[in-house]
Structure formats: C-alpha cells, structure tokens
Structure 1
Amino acid sequence: MITILKYFRFSLGLILLFSIGYLNAQETTNPPAIINKNGVWLKGDLHVHSRHSTESSNNSVSKIINFSKSVGMDYLCITDHDNHVKGDVAHHTWADPEFKSDSLLLLYGAEWTTTRGHANVFSDKPYDHQRLFDIRDARDINIGKVKKSLGVHLSANHPSGKDNFGFSYDLVQSIEVWNSAMWPKNANAIMIWDDMLSSGRMMTGRGGSDTHHGVPTSSEKPGANTYQAEFNYVGTPTTWVFAKERNLKAVVDALDQGKASVSSNPFAPRVEFYADFKANGKFEMMMGDNAISNGKPIKFQVQLIGNKLPEEQYTVTVIKNGAKLNTFLVGGEIPVLQFTDTPDLKGRTYYRVTVEGKNTDYPQVPKSAALSEKMVALSNPIYFNFNPDF
C-alpha cells in the first residue's frame, strides 16, 4: 500500500510539473510587441573593402555606397586594409571623392592588419590611423594607450582561423561574431565571444560581410572574382544598432553599449531582446544593459521585427552563461515570446538569444541565403552583476 501511495504521489508530481511547464509555454506566446521610443533602429555593414584594398579593385566606393542605399542601409563603414596604403587611409579611402552621401551615414574606419591578427576601427570623425599602424607590433599596453588617446572603437575581426585576433581582448569593445554570409564558419567566433563574456567583459557582438568583390555595374563585364558577390556582399550579415539619434556618434555609442543585434541580410527580421527587471511590465532593460540581481525571477521578451515570413516557425534559443537554457517556437505576423528565469544572486549572469528558420530572400545577393543556412538573427546579451570597470 505504501509503495502504491509513493507511486501515486510521484506520478501526480510529474503531471503537475508537466502541466506547469505547458501553461508557462502557453503564457510565453503572443504577448504584445514592445515599442521602444527611446531611439531608432539603424542597419548597416561594419566590414567592407573598396578598391583601396588591393584585392578589391572592382569595388569602388561609389559602387558600395549606391548599392547600400538601394537595399535600405542606414550606415556603413568601409574598412580598407591599412597595410595596403601604408596606414594612410585618411588620404585614400576617406579622401576618395566618392566618399560622400546625402543619406547614408559613413563611419570613418579601416582594417588594422597586423601579423597578430586583424581588427576594425570605427569612428564618428576622422582620426590619425597612422598612429595605430605604426605601433601594430608593440606591446598591448602601449597599443591600448594610443587607441584610448584616439578615442576610437576597436573591434576584433574574424577572431579565429588564419587571421585570428591575437591581441588582448581588453583592447576591444566588440568582436565580429558573424563574418560573411557563411554562417557555419563562425562557430569558433561564438565560442570565443562566450568565453569573453564569461570572463566578465561586456563585449558587443557584431557582424561584417568582409566583402571584397563588387557586383558588376551595367557597363562592366563580370570578372574572375565578381561571382563571389552573388554569395557575399554588403549586408551579409547586417548589424542593427539602436541609436539615440540618426547620426554617426549615436551609431558608435550604440556599438560601445551593446545596443545591437545581427541578421543574415538587410531584409531578414532583426531580433530585439528585453527584460522586465522591476517586474512592472515596462521591460526597461534591453540588450547591452546591466543590473544588480536581486535573486528574484525576471521576465524576458524576445521579438522579431521586420520582414518575417508569416508562415514560418522560427526557433528561438536562449543562451545563459554560454549554455542553452531553453528553446521556443514562434511564428505569426509579429513573432514574440516571453520566458522567465532567475539570474544568480551573487555571480555574473548573461542571457542572449539566437533565431533560426527559413531565411528571407536577398535578391541582390541571391546565393547568400544558402550559405547562411538556418541562422536568421542573434542578439547581444542582457547582463546581471557585471562590473565593466573590473
């Protein structure tokens, strides 16, 4: 009789747990989307090469800018290799008469190309890149002093592989976690990003097409390399930033602060990620924000905004401290979900999300979707108990 009672209690417990889990799953679906009126979402590409990089001869600045405008980009950073112009990008890329636009925000930057790896510089104003070029073989501590004096944002490029980033990650504010349309090759970059986050660094994850070869214009014949632009060109992937205003400084500030997400192309939906830290239904935290945990459960909201595929079911995976916490299926006109979890009371905790599903077509770069496979978007983290100064 005792055995039967124990079995009954155990079975009832399983039923209750299953029921609670089912109800919670139902409660997470289809809440209203959050309308964030504190800024504006801007999309762009942070890693593009023009003819001022020696292997990009058919990719003029005007071609890049006109293409970017045609696909609705808001900002762009042309990042030519500094060793191709002996560090003097200011008198090459930026001095190019074609480096101008009445609508596209053009950041100042270059790819810092060294024997220890590559990094991109992002700035809202011209800066003396020659100073960085001249110390590319110096000790990290001295490089850091020059970078700080220039007031620029330094970002680690394609951190693993042939041109891995071999400097201290204390030098950079962001890391290229999604390089080019070929998503699978970024697995090691994601692993490094999670390692850096786990070490307490509040490091922004961003994308970059790293495109070198341009789409031929109507007056040009396709060259030996231009076919590559059918697979990878401006916007594969696209980095979205939540800027306070539509200007260059606000774009760089958003990158500094982690107010960013990445999508497979300019027409794919962006992912937004929020947290209701005060439990008042206002979701006052978003990607890049940091709070001191009070040990209580927190409700999070994930939403896909933009060109969703209404019939598509998207898989949203929640990553907590580098490990999968949960997976959800969402769909509809505005795919939105909520989940609840409790950050550690004393230790550091971060959450980020990835979105997989069928990719939105990118007609201008028709073969890119196949390389992106099912990866649609990823968010930056929301942080708890991080000390950015430690």
Structure 2
Amino acid sequence: MASKSTLKNHLFTSAFGAGLLLITCGVSNTALGQSSHTSPWAPTIINTPPPVASITNGVWLKGDLHVHSRHSKESSNNPIAKILAFSQSVGMDYLGITDHDNHVEGDVAHNTWADPEFKSNSVLLLYGAEWTTTRGHGNAFSARPYDHQRLYDVRDQRDMVVGAVKKELGIHLSANHPSGKDHFGYSYDMLESLEVWNSVLWSKNANAIMIWDDMLSSGRKLTGRGGSDAHHGTPDAPDKATPNSKQAKANYVGTPTTWVFATARTTQAVVDALTNGRVSVSANPYAPRVEFYADLNQDGKMDLMMGDNVVATGKPVKFRVQLTGKLAPGAAYTVSVVKNGGQLDTLQISGKTAMAEFTDTPATLGRTYYRVMVQGPPTAYPQVPESMALSEKMVGLSNPIYFNFDPNF
C-alpha cells in the first residue's frame, strides 16, 4: 500500500522536553542549527507549534470539493450551470469543480475555467482540477487561477520534481480516493489533505480512513476532507448507461458535504481553512455538522478546535463533541472517539443535548491526536432522496485535535 511505503523513508525523533523537534528525512541529516533537506517541500526544525487560532471569529461554510462537469468526458447531463443552480438551491457556500485534466491535456484554464457558465454571485468557486495520472488521482485547489499545465506536464516525473512545481504554484494538493484502483501513488509529503469520504457510499471508505490514520500516526498533519466525485446530473437519470447507475442517481453535489471554519467568506479563506484542518464532513448538506473542541485547563471555556495543534502539558484535557443543525427528534447518535488510530471511547448524544464530553491526558513525549466519527439515523436529502440508503448510518466526522505535532510536516 502506498501509505506504508511512504513511512519507511522517515525517522522521527522528538525531544519536546527541550522544546525541540528533530526530524531526519530520507538520507539527509538535519542537526541542531542546520537546515539540510532532500527536497524543497521537506520539513524544518521548529521550537513549538504556533499560537492557538481563534475558535470564535469565523464562519462555517459548506461545499463539495470533488465534482465533475461536462468537461470531464465520462460525465453526463452535468453542465456547470446545472451544478451551480443545484448547489445554490441546497445552500452550498463554495464549490470545487474538478474536471479530469487528462481529458484536455492539462489545459483546464481554457476549458472548465473558461466556460462562460463558470461564475456565480452566491457560490464561491475554487480554481482546481483532478490531476489524473497513471500513479493515481489528486485534486488541486487554489483561490485564484494558476498554471495547472505545469503540474500536468510533470505528472510522470519524480516526486521531488512534482513537489517543487506544486510548491512554486502555491496550490493545495489533495489525494483523491486513496485506496483502490486510482489510489494516490505519490509521496504523501506533498499533500495538504486527503479524501477520506468519497461519494455517497460510506462503506467504500474504510481503507481511506485506515490510510489517514497511518499518515496521522506517522506525524503528517493531513486534513481529512470529503468529495462526492459526482459525474452525472442527478437527480435526473444519467444519459449514459453506467455499471453503477443506482449509485450515480444517489450521488450528487453534497454527498458528502465538507464544512470549513473560515475566517471570512472568501475563496482564500476556504483554502486556508482546508489546509489548517478546520474541517468536518457530513453525509449531506442537511445532516448535522460535527464540531470538536478541547478545554485545556478545564475552566469550561473551549480553547481548541479540530485542526489545532499545541504542546501537551501533562494535565488532563476535556474534549467536547457537538452536533449542530437539525437532529432527528428522539434519536440517539453514537460517537466513536479515535486516539492515535485506536478506539478510545464511545459516547452517546441525544437530540436534546446535542453534545457529549470526555477527558483524557495527552502524552508529553511523542505525538497524540484525537478525532471523532458520528453514526445515527440518516438525514433526509430531499433533492437526492436515493442517497439516504447508501450513506448508511454515517452522520459525520471531525478532523483531529493535535498535541506535539510538527506543524510544518
């Protein structure tokens, strides 16, 4: 598996007691006071994680980060105007239309982005494309146009070359459907995020979740995101016969929905929130949003939220899981608490409280992360009614809260 092979090239030695994280990458040694890397996107020595960002001055924005329009050849009945009209009707705040770049030899700038329909007064449109290569697929995201042709042209070159181009372009790179036929076969060190929930069919994502935990456990602070990967114009029946016609009809914009806690309602703020891990994923635009917080000194005031990274103090931390939005009347929701890839606890949330808490003590030496997954009754998606059955009991998931992670890695 690609994620396992990536781990073999990295050795981590932590000495947070001395306020230092020492990292050795590949065959290049990084010693105190030196900075020597095998690639331009390798990590650097840090002293401590940056100050905690505000968890109150922001806005929750919902959207879909993996949608195909008619500019993807296998897509059907899905012009950009239809996608945007539908997105607006279900209250989407932003959208990533990510057509396959190999269908236009990398020239998305004169196809998807140049389409007269690629504009909206209500939905923030990210610039991006699905980087479609023989070594797997990834989505590129940017708040502004960039030279995607350069990324396409180096798709068969070594990771070091690809990583340098990606850095020069200043884009956010995300692995799509990391397990399976089109898994991401490049170094995960080039990535800012990982598609852990692809399409309406939740059960297909078990391996993606496992890879995510592998990467998190190895020290990579990778945001987990969703993406419908919708190709067809649901709720209308697809124009072309497909082997998965049932899933095609049940899968459209917002299955799943990715929420970002952004500093403002701008495309740059959306990309920044995605990079920083201020992200949760829900089954559809109407499903409850999972929010995950931490109270460092147990004074009743939350200090951290998902995506945040601080140095552990050795004292207990109180964590809070909150469901925001419309909960099913009288329903019970089950929260699975994951710590360092393993199950730590199981909590129950009712429609009355919409909240649950637990306490744990992050280790002072080494890394610790916590994330949560929520299951319960499916939420109706009136515009795509078939989606309820395929999303199963999965309601939503959070990104991690981190302790003692190197924020540059």
Say whether the fold is shared (TM-score over 0.5): yes
Matches within 5 A, 1:293-372: 293-372=312-391
Q: In 2, distance between residues paired with 1:162 and 1:349?
A: 31
The residue that corresponds to 1:47 in the other structure is 66
The residue that corresponds to 2:393 in the other structure is 374
The residue that corresponds to 1:17 in the other structure is none
Matches within 5 A, 1:223-242: 224=241, 228-242=247-261
Q: What code does the residue aligned with 1:90 have?
A: A
Task: Give the drift of 1:229.
Answer: 4.2
Matches within 5 A, 1:1-390: 37-215=56-234, 224=241, 228-389=247-408
Q: In 1, distance between residues paired with 2:113 and 2:149?
A: 13
The residue that corresponds to 2:9 in the other structure is none
Q: In 1, distance between residues paired with 2:152 and 2:295?
A: 44
| Structure 2: gaps spanning 5 or more residues | 1-53
* Contact map agreement 1:117 1:164 (CA 8 A) in 2: yes
Indicate the structure (1 or 2) with the bigger Cα radius of gyration: 1
* Contact map agreement 2:292 2:306 (CA 8 A) in 1: yes
- Closer/same/farther in 2, CA of residues 276 and 184 from structure 1, 3 Å limit: same
- The superposition leaves residues 314-352 of structure 1 with CA deviations (integer Å, 9 ceiling, x where unpaired) of 000100000000001111245101110000111100000
- Closer/same/farther in 2, CA of residues 374 and 216 from structure 1, 3 Å limit: closer
Task: Give the drift of 1:363.
Answer: 1.3
- Closer/same/farther in 2, CA of residues 110 and 86 from structure 1, 3 Å limit: same
Provide the aligned C-alpha RMSD in A: 1.6
- Closer/same/farther in 2, CA of residues 211 and 221 from structure 1, 3 Å limit: closer
Q: Secondary structure at the match of 2:86?
A: helix
| Structure 1: gaps spanning 5 or more residues | 1-34
- Closer/same/farther in 2, CA of residues 148 and 221 from structure 1, 3 Å limit: closer
Task: Give the drift of 1:278.
Answer: 3.1
Task: Give the drift of 1:280.
Answer: 2.7
* Contact map agreement 2:55 2:305 (CA 8 A) in 1: no
User: More displaced, 274-283 or 72-81?
Assistant: 274-283
Q: What code does the residue aligned with 1:249 have?
A: Q
* Contact map agreement 1:314 1:329 (CA 8 A) in 2: yes
Q: Secondary structure at the match of 1:338?
A: strand
Question: Counting helix residues as a fraction of each chain, which structure ranks higher?
Answer: 1
Q: In 1, distance between residues paired with 2:56 and 2:317?
A: 22
Q: In 1, distance between residues paired with 2:173 and 2:251?
A: 24
Q: What code does the residue aligned with 1:128 have?
A: D
- The superposition leaves residues 158-179 of structure 1 with CA deviations (integer Å, 9 ceiling, x where unpaired) of 0010001110000100000000
- Closer/same/farther in 2, CA of residues 216 and 344 from structure 1, 3 Å limit: closer
* Contact map agreement 1:230 1:364 (CA 8 A) in 2: no
Q: In 2, distance between residues paired with 1:81 and 1:202?
A: 27
Q: What code does the residue aligned with 1:332 have?
A: G
Task: Give the drift of 1:224.
Answer: 3.6
TM-score (norm: length of structure 2): 0.84
- Closer/same/farther in 2, CA of residues 166 and 275 from structure 1, 3 Å limit: same
* Contact map agreement 1:155 1:173 (CA 8 A) in 2: yes
* Contact map agreement 1:242 1:259 (CA 8 A) in 2: yes
